[in-house]
Structure formats: C-alpha cells, structure tokens
Amino acid sequence: MYDIIVIGGGAAGLTVAAGASSLGAKVALVEKSKLLGGDCLHFGCVPSKALISIANQVAEARKTTKFGMDVSGDINVEKVMEQVQSSIRTIQEHDDPDRFEKLGVDVLFGAASFITSTKIKVGESKTIEGKRVVVATGSSPFIPPIEGLKDIHYWTNETVFTMKQLPKRLLVIGGGAIGMELSQAFARLGSEVTLVERGKTLGKTGDKELVGKVTELLEREMTVFTSTDVEKISTTNEGKIIALRDQTTTFTLEVDEIIVAAGRKPNTRELNLDGVGVKVDERGHILIDRYGRSSIPTIFGIGDVNGQYGFTHAAGMEGKAVVQTAVLGIPSKLSYESFPWITFTDPEWFQMGLTEESAVQRFGKENINIYKSSLDEVDRFIAEHRTEGIVKMITKKDGTIIGAHALGVGAGDWMQTVVYAVQKKQKIGSLSRMIYPYPNRAGAVQKTSDLYWREKLFNGPFTKITKKYIQWFR
C-alpha cells in the first residue's frame, strides 16, 4: 500500500513525488510514456523557448545591416532543431528516473486507469494501491473539427520541433500563447506566416490596451486575422488551399504547411474517472475544490487536468500545496491571487491579476486607479532602442495592487519585483521606495510606481501643508 500514487510524470507529478518522498511517504510515480518531464520539457516550454531564442538571434543579426554589416543566407532548420533537442536532452538529466528512484520513489511506466478510488491498473496487468492518488496527466493539443484537416499533414507543438525543412508559407491556427510565440519565431526564421484566430482578439483574456499593442507589433512581422474561422482545407500540387471566413466575407489563401495551436484538452479520457465517481466538466477537466481535491476527497487533480491555469509554474505551485494536504493532512489552499504568466513573444508580454476591464467591472471605475508608463520614458530602453512597450498597474484607492501588466524586452524578469510585492501584501508605494540601480530595465517599474506618490503629493492636501510649513521655517 502506497501513501501516495502520482499519475503523470510532468512538472506537477514530479513535484508531488519528490516532495512526498522527502517527507517519508511511500510513493509510486506512474508515467504513460518512457520519459519523465512531461509536455513542458519535451514539447512545450523548453523547446519553444529554445526556438524563440534562436529566432531572436537571427532577427538581431539581420538588424546589424544598418551598421554596415552584410548578413545573408537561409536558415538550416535541421541545425536549428538539433540545438532545440540539445536543450531538451540537457534538462532531461534532471528528470532522470534514477534520480527519483534514489529519492525512494517507485517509478512505473505504463498507462494508468482507476479500478477503484484506491486501486490503479498500470499497463496491461500490474495493479497498485494507494491511500491517496494525485492525477497530474497534463494536456495535449486540441484538434478542431475543420473539414479536410485530418486528411493532410500538419504540425502541433508535439511534432513541430522535429521539422526538417522551413516552410516558405506557414499558417498558424490559434492566437493564444503557443500560436503567437511560434508564429513570431517562424516569421523571424524566414517563413511567410499567417496567424488566424477565431476570437475577436489575440490573447483573449488579456488587458485590451496591451492586446492591441501586442497585435500591432506582431502585424509588423506577419499577417494576422482575428474573428476568422478556418472552414475548409484542401490540397493541390502547389500547396494547401485554406478557406477562411471572417464576419463579412469568405476568402482563400495558399500555404505550404500548417501548425495547429487551437488550445489544449486534458489527458483524462483513459483514466476511468467516471467509473470511480470523479466529476469532470464537459471538456474532461477534473473539478476540484480550493485544496485540489476532486469529488472523491482522496483523489486530487493538479496541473493542466484541472483547467485552472495551464502553466508549468502553476502545476509546480499546486504540487507543493497538495503535498502538504495529501501527505501531512494539513490543508493548503491553492491561491491564484498573485499568479503571473508570460507570453514569450519579443517583446515579452507579462500579465498578473485583474485587467483594467475586469477591475472596473468588479470594483467600479471610481474605486480604482490606473498607473501607466511608456518604455520610451525609461532610460535603459531608450539606450537600447527598444522602447516598444508599456507598464500598467491597477490598484484600489489605497494603493493595493490588483493587476499588473507589461509589454517589453525581458518584462517577465523585471516585473517579478511586482509579483513579490503583491505576495508580501505590499502596496504600489513600496515599489517606488525601492532603490533601482541606474539604468536598469526595472526602472520601468519605478517610473510607474512613482506616479502613485506624485498623485498623492501634488493632487492632495500635502503640498498646501508643506508650502505653509516652508514659509514658516526659516
């Protein structure tokens, strides 16, 4: 009898397995594939960021022509993908099964399914039993029911990183984070990219002002269609014919290859969750309470399977909380109040908390303050000639930060200061009082937070008081 059975060897599952074992629990880790690390390592975060880095290097090299240098030639995409795979192999060493075996975890490879709420079938014949089970099986690409799609070759994030030849004309279906990142990367490598999103905007949950700026920047490098459906795909000797429909017309375009990035679906179908009474939503996400517990209290759902936030750092956070709840019996809430995420376009797009629109809806426009700075006001970005971007902070009237958004080079790094402030219950004024080495990019945070004190000092009664005091003081 195991204390904890973990199903899924991605970020969430590995966090639970290592944490529970270190506390002295008897742990089994079950993984369907032959490799640990999950989608993030093999098909998601790691390879995409490796590809983005290479693409950005190519883009920067091409910019050197304005300094008189000669840059020419086509990209060898096989060499690009070999470097991507090298990154995966290096990080894979951290997720080697032997490491977890040495921690005391029993690592079992094979498909898992529930027999009862405590018994798990692994592979064809093995059965294991545990007091508690953590489901962390991740997600996989959702393939939309587009006429003709199943009959042609297309890539998803699970297959694109084995590409052998760079397509001249590329269609990307889906304007979420994966779609935007891959679109820009391939555009910079040399493909003519068309990005199609059926929703009204790219990054549809984002702050409207920043969504507009991100879209504007991407449109400089590719063609972007929003509010547009892909209705049908057919093939000719010259390529793939795509029938598109926007709000008013139907039109076609011709491409060589397609990447499908139309969302994710939870990997729960084969687990027999219904058979043991675990409730799921219409898409198959496990319904959880604020402690990560499913409708069966001894079964937990963390990571992509619960449909909360489909990010590796969310899975890790949830895993840490569930270790405390499941192993020690001390309930630890899953909190997303200060949860940040980044879309790794160039420049990066950082998001945390409420957007301006959602803050107005929740609190009323008269009860919030908006503080904004453009990066063309920050000396470091001016020096680098990378002034495309903005910092936007949303607060309550007392300075409590309820939303923070930024677009800028390295924004995912320098906005971490704001994440820390929110987690420590610090208000926007405390960010202004910090000392920022000059000139660094985090000066954008300083510039924005300074606006809080400027408003307090110059629009309030304080200036009148100090003026009288100065007149009196000799």
Detail the residues annotated as belonging to a binding site: 49, 137-139, 174-181, 197, 263, 304
Scored b (16 or more CB within 10 A) or e, 368-403 reads bbebebbbeebebbeeeebbbbbbbbbbeeebebbb
Nearest CA-CA partner of 305 in 328, 335, 280: 280
CA angle 57-443-178, nearest 5°?
A: 40
Tell me the torsion sign for CA atoms 292, 296, 299, 304.
negative
Q: Which residues are annotated as a binding site for NAD(+)?
A: 174-181, 197, 263
- Please name the residue that has the structure tokens 């014919």: 241
DSSP-H helix ranges across 335-407: 356-363, 379-384
- Numbered residues of the known binding site for FAD: 49, 137-139, 304
**What is the C-alpha separation between 183 and 314, in angstroms, rounded?**
24
| DSSP-H helix ranges across 177-327 | 177-189, 208-218, 312-323
Phi, psi of 278 (to 5 degrees): -85, 120
CA 66 from chain centre, in angstroms, equals 34
